Amino acid sequence: MEKLKIAVQKSGRLNEDSLKILKEIGISIDNGKDQLKASASNFPLEVFYLRNGDIPQYLKDGVVDAAIIGENVLIEKGNDITIVEKLGFSKCRVSMAVPKSSDATSLKDLEGKRIATSYPNTVNLFLKKHGVNANLHIINGSVEIAPNIGLAEGICDIVSSGSTLFKNGLKEIEVLLKSEAVLATSPKISEANQAIIDKIQFRLKSVLRGRKNKYVLLNAPNNKLNDIINVLPGMKSPTVLPLATEGWSSVHTVINKGEFWEIIDELKANGAEGILVCPIENMVL
């Protein structure tokens, strides 16, 4: 049986989160220490551990069928590669930054200046779009040190928490794009392996929906039941079951995490009691 070859980052946080989500969708990887590839024991899949920057080319060449990779890397090196699913982790942004002592406050202030970056294609396109001319110094590695050693007046790099910029005396002045981990496929993927990707995507969607929602159970006095149901945004309609105590019902529903606390406050105000909140592993529609 044909196996899907999927690339993940060789090490680091993206590697850990990629293997975690594969495990959550029921794929067990026989992963030994320092292996360059590993097979799944219960799914037609092989994982290849590769350098992040090399993965777009492997996708283009069809060496691997798919990859879990940062969207920012695809924008820089593989913007013709199909993104199948955004995965919601390893979120960051690609930003311009300058020394805190600099007078620059926006992109236009970098006109004619030197910018150090590991993302020359992304930066060039952004500068061209906004009509700014600057000189790029391409650096692989610690870009944030460039202004301190006089190599550049500004940098463009990935930013997560901003702590690295702070430690190096830099301030963020422009966000070029926002990024997260994505599942991407090779333009040369076979029909058989596309069918495997479709199965993976179905499972991923179920896990990602679960992460965005909470399962809520509560007790409601029957005379307030309609008011409480009107507060709930359930998938279709909440489940209502009579309790042993006369005049009370148990209400079960799903609430989006983004609206969660506001809805809980409204439920309490409308007489709900004994509210239980449970995580959802998978949400299959």
Q: Quickly state the pLDDT bin for 224 (edges 50, 70, 90).
A: very high
Same domain, 104 and 27: no
Domain range for 12: 4-89+180-189
Domain assignment present for residue 207? The answer is no
Domain assignment present for residue 203? The answer is no
Number of domains the chain is built from: 3
Domain assignment present for residue 229? The answer is yes
Q: Quickly state the pLDDT bin for 21 (edges 50, 70, 90).
A: very high
Same domain, 184 and 67: yes
Number of neighbouring beta carbons within 10 Å of residue 16? 13
Same domain, 73 and 20: yes
Residue 33 has pLDDT above 80, yes or no: no
Q: Convert the pLDDT of each residue in 159-169 to its tens digit.
A: 988 899 999 99
CATH of the domain at 254: 3.30.70.120
Q: Convert the pLDDT of each residue in 190-208 to its tens digit.
A: 999 999 999 999 999 999 9
Cβ atoms 155, 81 nearer than 8 A: no
Say if pTM beats, i.e. exceeds, 0.85: yes
Same domain, 131 and 255: no
Question: What pLDDT does residue 79 have?
Answer: 77
Average pLDDT of the chain is 93
Q: Quickly state the pLDDT bin for 32 (edges 50, 70, 90).
A: low
